[in-house]
Amino acid sequence: MLSGKGLATLAVSTWFFGFSFGLYEILLPLYMDSVSISLMNIGYVFTVSAIFIAFLSILLGAKSDKYGRKIFIALASLLSGFSYFLTPYFESVVMMGFVKVLFDSAVAIRSAVFTTMVYEQDRKSFIASYSRVSGLEFISQALGLASAGLFISIYGYWLPLVLSGLLQVAGFLIIVFFFNEQGVSEGRCVAKPHEKEDGNRVFNRGLIIMAITGLVVTIGGSATHCFITPMFFSKKFSLSPETLSILMTVHRLSLGIPMLFSNRIVRSLKKFSYKSSLILFTGIQGFFTILATIPSDFNASAALWLLHDPLGASVWLPLRSYFIQKYCNDETRGRDYNIVNFIGSLGNIIGPFIAGYFGSMNINFPFLIGGLVIVLSSFLLIPL
């Protein structure tokens, strides 16, 4: 399924990272709610954390071009592990902000190098390899989400958070001892830069479009995901942690399983170019997010909402990554990718604020506003 030791090692470490991430996605907002932190303050915690780490990825990209990617993805596992270990010992908004900064820093570090690592391991079949490794990650997140409700009901919050930390230590050891980056960095140095097509290669037209649309789609995505997803269903339909855990598990599986086959889906759409498919499936995600707010029945709302990933993100996520890598310069791939990633990450500052502010007025508003923003981002891709 995955060719090469490097991709296999990334897949295994990614599995551990994903499982812990899935646990934390439910554990953190529910834990904050359990210690009487308001929805508005939860939004502030997520927003402040996003501001703090937004500038991190752009620095990491250039450094990884020089020092390699391995050291950074290993560091990400350690930082996330510390955030999990520390979370159950704090209850104030300030300290929750601190552990969230640790966690988001780990995610930012990993995001800064992960896609480029996959690309450098398998350039020829990048869409297929990226889809499969990412699909496995989302499936592992689903298993983490599935375990969260059970863990909370039986053990509370301490044990699953400590378990998450231990899994990150395991992921760190796997990368350190089994991932071999030798030859990859040499390939980066030998590769010649592309000719300038639209002025400075870093700011060519393609990367500018991907950066702008990345910002917009991230605003919509973080306004409809992040902490607001479990809050939307738990508050609107009074779900128990166990039911919420099942829903979030299905949500992640609805992205992970289709992503395993997204390369085949793209190739089967012979009438559509990669660009057309990217526009189409991005718009579909926003459309079904909006529809989820209409039903007053949980089953109907959940069914509509769950369609946004298999009919949307499972296809546009790998296509978007492909386009960014396509326009990057070989010699400065890490830097170029993370300039685009940095601009997009600014949406993680705006999105949680939208979710917290408008969600406190009406729990439907974050999905309505965020969904419209995602649809808008699809139209902004037309000049690509």
Amino acid making up residue 115: T
Q: What is the pLDDT of residue 292?
A: 94
Of 331, 96, 326, the C-alpha closest to 191 is 331
Q: How far apart are CA 267 and CA 274, in angstroms?
A: 9
Distances (CA, A) of 286 to 205, 268, 373: 25, 23, 7
Residue 186 confidence (pLDDT): 46
- Say what the pLDDT of residue 279 is: 94
DSSP 3-state helix, strand, coil percentages of the chain (rounded to 5)?
80, 0, 20
Nearest to 316 by CA among 251, 372, 262, 354: 262
Predicted pLDDT of residue 3 = 59
Give the residue among 115, 113, 104, 123 at the shortest CA–CA distance from 49: 104
CATH fold of 5-379 reads: Growth Hormone; Chain: A; (1.20.1250)
pLDDT value of residue 241: 73
Asked if residues 373 and 53 have their Cβ atoms less than 8 Å apart, the reply is: no
Low-confidence ranges of the chain (pLDDT < 70): 1-3, 50, 52-62, 182-203, 270-271
pTM assigned to the model: 0.73
What are the counts of helices (DSSP H) followed by strands (DSSP E) for the chain? 18, 0
What is the largest distance, in Å, between two alpha-carbon atoms of the chain? 60
What is the predicted pLDDT for the residue at 189? 45
**pLDDT tens, residue by residue, 354-380:** 888 898 889 999 999 999 999 999 999
* b/e 264-276 (16+ beta carbons within 10 angstroms → b): ebbeeeeeeebee
* Whole-number Å distance between alpha carbons of 279 and 242: 36
Q: Tokens representing 133?
A: 């490794």
Under 8 Å between Cβ of 309 and 254: yes
- The pLDDT of residue 203: 67
For residue 214, give Cα distances in angstroms to 94, 219, 327, 341: 30, 9, 14, 8
**Predicted pLDDT at 382:** 94
